[in-house]
Structure 1
């Protein structure tokens, strides 16, 4: 007859097996660093990114030094939206790479993997015209019109004219006509009319729409951008 081990004997045997297992070693610091970098890359490339406002071209909506969060998914561009975009090819004049050395090229390549293009020039402006729109400045009442419809640009500072520079453009499909809210001090689509592309920014260059200003704390607030400009009739 085979004897059945008692409960205490089985417990002792299980304890011996556990004691023979090697203790798990903590991951080395470099593994934690790599995981942190991967997490940052995923967040920056696919979730959201923080941007800093370096100039006064969007005053009074955005002030110099404002920091804002820009999601990278689930947004549809509409008339009146504020957008952050990569203007390297359009507004930036397609500059030559700033890192020409071997080490610089390595740094640039690593940066791109983590969503940081050292040659990228980001801008923030407002969408005035979209693909197919006929945008004109200005009508008899000094208002910008989109497809013959005057814009009520309530986000402009009191007394600010919609534009001191006249223009009459048709926006190509897949492109945007962008202007800063500080019309007297904004190098926007108007300033690039004579450049290749005529100041039009491809929709594919848009990084996202800012939704939250988190710094300075005194100006902590949501960023709402679609209430002032009516959609233009096609």
Structure 2
């Protein structure tokens, strides 16, 4: 350490420093530095000062880019495994869902042994049931679209649908009774979520849902292409449970419609299907 005397301002009335005794001076005098306790000199540990040099920290744009990329990757992982936003493109679920709504889907709802229940609003992949198998397209374009859709920035794939579960495996779903209502396992169902002015269905049907599949319908029945439209197609309009992406949890956009989905009580009185199955087989007619 530099041991040369340091010039400091002094009150003229203060006594001068005592003379240094050569016999006791060890050549390591310390000078009090303002702001450091006990006269200790500021630390010069290179580990504490490293990184102060801008050249060692790297370009700020690089750090910003890496942080942004990490955030995007995290969002994609969350949307793939936990919850994913979906953009509603049609009127088929009005008034429950409106065009332009961003719907947050809980992808863990059916991952641990739970299965879709009557009344659940679900998002599912309609490939093989609502739409035919599609040939593989451009992988780069598909990857970019899937990433944008996963973040709710683009409309979902044309194979993705959002509908309400009306019947589960073993259920017999019939439309309509003398009052124009749907019945499930012989019990009439009041559907308060239907669009005002809509009937439960303009086309009669009587079907039994095979195990492992779902019968689904839109809340805006006159505007919905759902299981009724595919009675004559392979699969008979039934959606395999393993094609369900998740259950609708929240409307997250626009802010004025921010709300959580509440379970409907419309099916609370519907009994379980008979263990031996219904005495009549599935039958029905196409939905015009």
Give the alignment's TM-score, normalised by structure 1. Answer: 0.80
Q: Which residue of 2 aligns with 1:230?
A: 268
1:36 aligns with 2:71: yes
- Secondary structure, in 3 states, of the residue corresponding to 2:194? coil
Q: 8 Å contact 2:86–2:149 — kept in the other structure? A: no
Output the CA distance in 2 between the equivalents of 1:61 and 1:115. 21
Q: Structure 1: state its 5+ residue gaps.
A: 1-10
Q: Which has the larger radius of gyration?
A: 2
Match of 2:87 in 1: 52
Q: Is 2:142 the counterpart of 1:108?
A: yes
Partner of residue 207, structure 2: 169
1:199 CA displacement: 0.5
Whether contact under 8 Å (2:231, 2:237) holds in the other structure is yes
SS in 2 for 1:209: strand
Within the candidate set 9, 12, 18, 2:47 is matched to 18
Residues 173-211 of structure 1 deviation map (CA, whole Å, 9 limit, x = unaligned): 111000001111210000011111110001111111222
- Aligned counterparts of 2:49 and 2:181: Cα–Cα separation in 1: 82
Provide the C-alpha distance between the structure 2 equivalents of 1:19 and 1:213, rounded to a whole number of angstroms.
48
Quick one: distance in 1 between partners of 2:49 and 2:258? 56
Question: Alpha-carbon deviations, 1:90-112, whole Å to 9, x = none?
Answer: 21222333x3xxxx324435766
Identify the structure with the greater helix proportion.
1
> 2:224 corresponds to which residue?
186
**Alpha-carbon offset, residue 220 of structure 1:** 2.2
Deviation track 1:9-30 (CA, whole Å, cap 9, x = no partner) reads: xx98x84553796776358355
The answer to whether 1:152 aligns with 2:190 is yes
Equivalenced residue count is 223
Task: Report the equivalent of 1:8.
Answer: none
> Which of structures 1 and 2 has the larger relative contact order (alpha carbons within 8 angstroms, sep 6+)?
1
CA distance change for structure 1 residues 108 and 219 in 2, over 3 Å: closer, same or farther? closer
Pairwise CA distance, 1:223: 2.2
- Contiguous gaps of at least 5 residues in structure 2: 1-39, 151-155, 274-288
> Structure 2: how far apart are the matches of 1:36 and 1:140?
56
Q: CA separation of 1:25/1:89 partners in 2, compared to 1, >3 Å: closer, same or farther?
A: farther
> CA shift at 1:126, angstroms?
0.5
More deviation, 88-97/168-177: 88-97
Q: Following the alignment from structure 2 to structure 1, what is the Cα–Cα distance between the partners of residues 139 and 182?
A: 45
The CA deviation at 1:37 is 3.1
Counterpart residue number, 2:103: 68
User: Could you tell me which residue of structure 2 aligns to residue 4 of structure 1?
Assistant: none
Name the counterpart of 2:129.
90
How far residue 125 of structure 1 moved from its aligned partner, in angstroms, is 0.6
Provide the rounded CA distance (Å) in 1 between the counterparts of 2:149 and 2:221: 31
